[in-house]
Chains A and B, each alone.
Chain A
Amino acid sequence: MKHALKPSQYLILVAVMLTASIGDTLLSRGMAQVGAVDLHHLNLLWKALFNPFVISGIVLLIGFFASYMTALSWADLTFVMPATAFGYVVVALLSRFWLHEQLSLYRWTGIALIVCAVGFVAGGPSRTEHETDHHELDVMDSGAGR
Protein backbone atom coordinates (compact mmCIF):
# COMPACT_ATOMS: atom_id res chain seq x y z
CA MET A 1 0.00 0.00 0.00
CA LYS A 2 1.33 3.39 -1.00
CA HIS A 3 -0.15 5.81 1.46
CA ALA A 4 2.31 8.19 3.10
CA LEU A 5 2.21 11.41 1.10
CA LYS A 6 5.20 13.72 0.80
CA PRO A 7 4.84 17.34 2.02
CA SER A 8 4.88 18.53 -1.61
CA GLN A 9 1.97 16.21 -2.33
CA TYR A 10 -0.04 17.71 0.54
CA LEU A 11 0.68 21.13 -0.97
CA ILE A 12 -0.75 19.94 -4.30
CA LEU A 13 -3.92 18.77 -2.52
CA VAL A 14 -4.22 22.16 -0.79
CA ALA A 15 -3.88 23.86 -4.20
CA VAL A 16 -6.67 21.58 -5.52
CA MET A 17 -8.88 22.72 -2.62
CA LEU A 18 -8.22 26.45 -2.98
CA THR A 19 -7.98 27.12 -6.73
CA ALA A 20 -11.21 25.36 -7.72
CA SER A 21 -13.40 27.09 -5.14
CA ILE A 22 -12.00 30.60 -5.60
CA GLY A 23 -11.97 30.17 -9.41
CA ASP A 24 -15.62 29.10 -9.47
CA THR A 25 -16.62 32.04 -7.26
CA LEU A 26 -14.90 34.47 -9.65
CA LEU A 27 -16.59 32.82 -12.65
CA SER A 28 -20.08 32.99 -11.20
CA ARG A 29 -19.50 36.64 -10.27
CA GLY A 30 -18.34 37.38 -13.83
CA MET A 31 -21.24 35.53 -15.45
CA ALA A 32 -23.68 37.47 -13.30
CA GLN A 33 -22.28 40.62 -14.92
CA VAL A 34 -22.44 39.17 -18.45
CA GLY A 35 -26.08 38.16 -18.13
CA ALA A 36 -28.21 35.21 -19.18
CA VAL A 37 -26.89 33.09 -22.05
CA ASP A 38 -29.37 31.06 -24.10
CA LEU A 39 -29.21 29.29 -27.45
CA HIS A 40 -30.14 32.48 -29.32
CA HIS A 41 -27.48 34.57 -27.58
CA LEU A 42 -24.48 32.23 -27.66
CA ASN A 43 -22.29 35.19 -28.66
CA LEU A 44 -22.51 36.26 -25.00
CA LEU A 45 -20.20 33.32 -24.20
CA TRP A 46 -17.57 35.00 -26.38
CA LYS A 47 -18.19 38.33 -24.65
CA ALA A 48 -17.77 36.55 -21.30
CA LEU A 49 -14.16 35.74 -22.21
CA PHE A 50 -13.31 39.45 -21.90
CA ASN A 51 -14.79 39.94 -18.43
CA PRO A 52 -11.99 40.43 -15.83
CA PHE A 53 -13.71 38.17 -13.28
CA VAL A 54 -14.16 35.44 -15.88
CA ILE A 55 -10.51 35.83 -16.97
CA SER A 56 -9.13 35.54 -13.41
CA GLY A 57 -11.50 32.64 -12.79
CA ILE A 58 -10.12 30.89 -15.87
CA VAL A 59 -6.51 31.49 -14.74
CA LEU A 60 -7.24 29.93 -11.33
CA LEU A 61 -9.06 27.02 -12.95
CA ILE A 62 -6.01 26.35 -15.15
CA GLY A 63 -3.96 26.22 -11.93
CA PHE A 64 -6.57 23.85 -10.52
CA PHE A 65 -6.33 21.66 -13.61
CA ALA A 66 -2.54 21.39 -13.32
CA SER A 67 -2.56 20.51 -9.62
CA TYR A 68 -5.53 18.17 -10.03
CA MET A 69 -3.76 16.22 -12.78
CA THR A 70 -0.59 16.03 -10.72
CA ALA A 71 -2.61 14.61 -7.81
CA LEU A 72 -4.29 12.08 -10.11
CA SER A 73 -0.88 10.90 -11.27
CA TRP A 74 -0.14 9.51 -7.79
CA ALA A 75 -3.58 9.06 -6.20
CA ASP A 76 -6.96 7.48 -6.98
CA LEU A 77 -9.80 9.58 -8.38
CA THR A 78 -11.95 8.59 -5.39
CA PHE A 79 -9.11 9.69 -3.06
CA VAL A 80 -8.74 13.15 -4.61
CA MET A 81 -12.53 13.72 -4.84
CA PRO A 82 -13.13 14.75 -1.18
CA ALA A 83 -10.26 17.24 -1.56
CA THR A 84 -12.13 18.98 -4.38
CA ALA A 85 -15.29 18.95 -2.23
CA PHE A 86 -13.31 20.62 0.55
CA GLY A 87 -13.34 23.72 -1.65
CA TYR A 88 -16.97 24.27 -0.59
CA VAL A 89 -15.84 24.37 3.02
CA VAL A 90 -13.17 26.93 2.10
CA VAL A 91 -15.76 29.19 0.41
CA ALA A 92 -18.18 28.88 3.35
CA LEU A 93 -15.46 29.62 5.92
CA LEU A 94 -14.18 32.57 3.86
CA SER A 95 -17.69 34.05 3.77
CA ARG A 96 -18.00 33.53 7.53
CA PHE A 97 -14.66 34.90 8.72
CA TRP A 98 -13.70 37.28 5.93
CA LEU A 99 -17.05 38.64 4.74
CA HIS A 100 -18.58 38.15 8.22
CA GLU A 101 -21.69 36.47 6.83
CA GLN A 102 -23.74 34.39 9.24
CA LEU A 103 -23.67 30.68 8.43
CA SER A 104 -26.91 28.77 8.97
CA LEU A 105 -27.03 25.48 10.88
CA TYR A 106 -27.47 23.74 7.50
CA ARG A 107 -24.17 25.13 6.29
CA TRP A 108 -22.29 24.20 9.45
CA THR A 109 -23.70 20.66 9.12
CA GLY A 110 -22.59 20.57 5.47
CA ILE A 111 -19.11 21.72 6.48
CA ALA A 112 -18.92 19.02 9.17
CA LEU A 113 -20.03 16.31 6.72
CA ILE A 114 -17.43 17.23 4.08
CA VAL A 115 -14.69 17.44 6.72
CA CYS A 116 -15.70 13.94 7.89
CA ALA A 117 -15.59 12.69 4.29
CA VAL A 118 -12.04 13.98 3.89
CA GLY A 119 -11.15 12.28 7.17
CA PHE A 120 -12.61 8.91 6.10
CA VAL A 121 -10.74 8.86 2.81
CA ALA A 122 -7.47 10.29 4.13
CA GLY A 123 -7.36 7.45 6.67
CA GLY A 124 -7.13 4.88 3.86
CA PRO A 125 -4.66 4.17 1.08
CA SER A 126 -4.28 6.88 -1.58
CA ARG A 127 -3.85 4.45 -4.43
CA THR A 128 -5.33 1.14 -5.53
CA GLU A 129 -2.30 -0.93 -6.46
CA HIS A 130 -2.61 -2.87 -9.70
CA GLU A 131 -0.04 -5.31 -11.10
CA THR A 132 0.95 -2.89 -13.89
CA ASP A 133 1.42 -0.09 -11.38
CA HIS A 134 4.01 -2.11 -9.52
CA HIS A 135 5.91 -2.55 -12.74
CA GLU A 136 5.68 1.13 -13.66
CA LEU A 137 6.75 2.19 -10.18
CA ASP A 138 9.75 -0.14 -10.28
CA VAL A 139 10.82 1.27 -13.62
CA MET A 140 10.45 4.82 -12.36
CA ASP A 141 12.20 4.09 -9.09
CA SER A 142 15.24 2.80 -10.93
CA GLY A 143 15.12 5.80 -13.27
CA ALA A 144 14.91 8.35 -10.47
CA GLY A 145 17.65 6.54 -8.59
CA ARG A 146 15.68 6.40 -5.36
Chain B
Amino acid sequence: MKSATLLRTWSAIGGVAGIAVLGEVLIAAAMRRLGDLDDIRAKSGLPGAIRAVLSSPLFLVGALCMALNFFGMLYALSIVDLSLAAPAIASLTYIGNAVAAKIFLHENVDRRRWLAVVFVCVGVVLISR
Protein backbone atom coordinates (compact mmCIF):
# COMPACT_ATOMS: atom_id res chain seq x y z
CA MET B 1 0.00 0.00 0.00
CA LYS B 2 1.37 3.46 -0.96
CA SER B 3 2.00 5.90 1.86
CA ALA B 4 -0.62 8.37 0.57
CA THR B 5 -3.26 5.61 0.57
CA LEU B 6 -2.07 4.48 3.99
CA LEU B 7 -2.41 8.03 5.35
CA ARG B 8 -5.88 8.40 3.85
CA THR B 9 -6.96 5.03 5.22
CA TRP B 10 -5.80 5.73 8.76
CA SER B 11 -6.99 9.33 8.89
CA ALA B 12 -10.44 8.11 7.85
CA ILE B 13 -10.33 5.40 10.52
CA GLY B 14 -8.94 7.73 13.22
CA GLY B 15 -11.36 10.52 12.33
CA VAL B 16 -14.42 8.28 12.46
CA ALA B 17 -13.30 6.74 15.78
CA GLY B 18 -12.57 10.18 17.27
CA ILE B 19 -16.00 11.53 16.36
CA ALA B 20 -17.59 8.35 17.75
CA VAL B 21 -15.83 8.75 21.11
CA LEU B 22 -16.81 12.43 21.33
CA GLY B 23 -20.43 11.59 20.53
CA GLU B 24 -20.66 8.67 22.96
CA VAL B 25 -19.12 10.60 25.85
CA LEU B 26 -21.43 13.59 25.27
CA ILE B 27 -24.50 11.34 25.09
CA ALA B 28 -23.43 9.36 28.16
CA ALA B 29 -22.93 12.65 30.05
CA ALA B 30 -26.37 13.86 28.92
CA MET B 31 -28.08 10.63 30.01
CA ARG B 32 -26.28 10.58 33.34
CA ARG B 33 -27.41 14.14 34.03
CA LEU B 34 -30.97 13.29 32.97
CA GLY B 35 -31.36 10.27 35.25
CA ASP B 36 -33.16 6.95 34.75
CA LEU B 37 -35.17 7.15 31.49
CA ASP B 38 -37.46 4.33 32.66
CA ASP B 39 -38.48 6.41 35.67
CA ILE B 40 -39.05 9.48 33.50
CA ARG B 41 -41.19 7.39 31.15
CA ALA B 42 -43.17 5.96 34.06
CA LYS B 43 -43.89 9.49 35.25
CA SER B 44 -44.49 11.49 32.07
CA GLY B 45 -44.90 8.84 29.36
CA LEU B 46 -42.86 8.25 26.22
CA PRO B 47 -43.43 11.79 24.83
CA GLY B 48 -42.16 13.20 28.12
CA ALA B 49 -39.05 11.02 27.97
CA ILE B 50 -38.40 12.02 24.35
CA ARG B 51 -38.90 15.69 25.24
CA ALA B 52 -36.51 15.37 28.20
CA VAL B 53 -33.82 13.83 25.96
CA LEU B 54 -34.27 16.29 23.10
CA SER B 55 -34.08 19.32 25.40
CA SER B 56 -30.60 18.38 26.61
CA PRO B 57 -27.94 20.45 24.78
CA LEU B 58 -25.27 17.83 25.57
CA PHE B 59 -27.42 15.23 23.86
CA LEU B 60 -27.97 17.40 20.78
CA VAL B 61 -24.24 18.00 20.27
CA GLY B 62 -23.59 14.28 20.92
CA ALA B 63 -26.27 13.26 18.42
CA LEU B 64 -24.74 15.63 15.85
CA CYS B 65 -21.41 13.84 16.37
CA MET B 66 -23.15 10.48 15.93
CA ALA B 67 -24.73 11.69 12.69
CA LEU B 68 -21.32 12.87 11.45
CA ASN B 69 -19.94 9.51 12.55
CA PHE B 70 -22.62 7.72 10.55
CA PHE B 71 -21.77 9.53 7.31
CA GLY B 72 -18.05 9.32 8.08
CA MET B 73 -18.49 5.56 8.46
CA LEU B 74 -20.27 5.30 5.09
CA TYR B 75 -17.40 7.30 3.56
CA ALA B 76 -14.70 5.21 5.28
CA LEU B 77 -16.34 1.93 4.21
CA SER B 78 -16.29 3.10 0.61
CA ILE B 79 -12.51 3.72 0.57
CA VAL B 80 -11.29 1.11 3.09
CA ASP B 81 -12.11 -2.62 3.11
CA LEU B 82 -14.79 -3.53 5.63
CA SER B 83 -12.46 -6.17 7.08
CA LEU B 84 -9.96 -3.46 8.06
CA ALA B 85 -12.22 -0.46 8.72
CA ALA B 86 -14.78 -2.15 10.98
CA PRO B 87 -12.41 -3.77 13.53
CA ALA B 88 -9.96 -0.85 13.47
CA ILE B 89 -12.67 1.76 14.08
CA ALA B 90 -14.36 -0.42 16.71
CA SER B 91 -11.14 -1.13 18.65
CA LEU B 92 -10.03 2.51 18.61
CA THR B 93 -13.51 3.60 19.71
CA TYR B 94 -13.53 1.14 22.64
CA ILE B 95 -10.11 2.27 23.86
CA GLY B 96 -10.97 5.94 23.36
CA ASN B 97 -14.29 5.49 25.19
CA ALA B 98 -12.65 3.90 28.22
CA VAL B 99 -10.02 6.64 28.47
CA ALA B 100 -12.57 9.41 27.89
CA ALA B 101 -15.07 7.87 30.34
CA LYS B 102 -12.39 7.86 33.03
CA ILE B 103 -11.18 11.42 32.35
CA PHE B 104 -14.40 13.24 31.50
CA LEU B 105 -17.19 11.17 33.06
CA HIS B 106 -15.09 10.24 36.14
CA GLU B 107 -16.24 6.65 35.80
CA ASN B 108 -14.53 4.17 38.03
CA VAL B 109 -12.69 2.21 35.31
CA ASP B 110 -11.29 -0.50 37.56
CA ARG B 111 -8.97 -3.34 36.63
CA ARG B 112 -11.75 -5.61 35.39
CA ARG B 113 -13.08 -2.90 33.06
CA TRP B 114 -9.61 -2.21 31.59
CA LEU B 115 -9.21 -5.95 31.12
CA ALA B 116 -12.60 -6.02 29.39
CA VAL B 117 -11.51 -3.20 27.05
CA VAL B 118 -8.33 -5.09 26.09
CA PHE B 119 -10.26 -8.36 25.60
CA VAL B 120 -12.90 -6.61 23.49
CA CYS B 121 -10.27 -4.94 21.28
CA VAL B 122 -8.33 -8.15 20.66
CA GLY B 123 -11.60 -10.09 20.30
CA VAL B 124 -12.99 -7.64 17.73
CA VAL B 125 -9.79 -7.84 15.66
CA LEU B 126 -9.75 -11.67 15.79
CA ILE B 127 -13.44 -12.02 14.99
CA SER B 128 -13.07 -9.82 11.89
CA ARG B 129 -10.29 -11.90 10.39
Are A77 and B120 neighbours in the complex by a CB distance under 8 Å?
no
CA distance in complex: A120, B39 (Å) = 28
1/0 per residue B2-30: CB within 8 Å of A?
00000000000000000000001101100
Determine if A130 is an interface residue (Cβ-Cβ < 8 Å).
Answer: yes
1/0 per residue B70-86: CB within 8 Å of A?
11001101110010001
Are A31 and B78 neighbours in the complex by a CB distance under 8 Å?
yes
1/0 per residue A109-143: CB within 8 Å of B?
11111101110110111001010010011001001
Which residue, A37, A78, A144, has most C-beta atoms of chain B within 10 A?
Answer: A78
Are A117 and B37 neighbours in the complex by a CB distance under 8 Å?
no
A79 to B: closest C-beta gap in Å: 8
Determine if B116 is an interface residue (Cβ-Cβ < 8 Å).
Answer: yes
Are A140 and B39 neighbours in the complex by a CB distance under 8 Å?
yes
Determine if B64 is an interface residue (Cβ-Cβ < 8 Å).
Answer: no
Contact residues, B79-129 vs A (CB, 8 A)? 79, 82, 86, 90, 94, 97-98, 101-102, 105-110, 112-113, 115-117, 119-120, 122-129
Report, as a range, how many residues of chain A touch the other chain.
Answer: 35 or more
Determine if A60 is an interface residue (Cβ-Cβ < 8 Å).
Answer: no
Are A72 and B123 neighbours in the complex by a CB distance under 8 Å?
no
CA distance in complex: A85, B89 (Å) = 12
Interfacial chain B residues near A45, Cβ < 8 Å: 71, 74-75
Determine if B42 is an interface residue (Cβ-Cβ < 8 Å).
Answer: yes
Are B24 and A77 neighbours in the complex by a CB distance under 8 Å?
yes
Residue of A nearest to B127 (CB): A110
Interfacial chain B residues near A113, Cβ < 8 Å: 119-120, 122-123, 126
Interface residues of B (CB under 8 A from A): 24-25, 27-28, 31-32, 34-39, 42-43, 53, 59, 66, 70-71, 74-75, 77-79, 82, 86, 90, 94, 97-98, 101-102, 105-110, 112-113, 115-117, 119-120, 122-129
Q: List 14 A-B contacts (CB under 8 A).
A: A45-B74, A69-B59, A70-B38, A73-B34, A77-B24, A77-B25, A81-B97, A81-B120, A85-B90, A85-B123, A88-B124, A117-B123, A140-B39, A144-B42
9 additional A-B pairs beyond A45-B75, A116-B119, A117-B116, beta carbons within 8 Å, are A24-B86, A45-B71, A72-B31, A76-B105, A81-B117, A85-B120, A106-B127, A121-B113, A128-B106
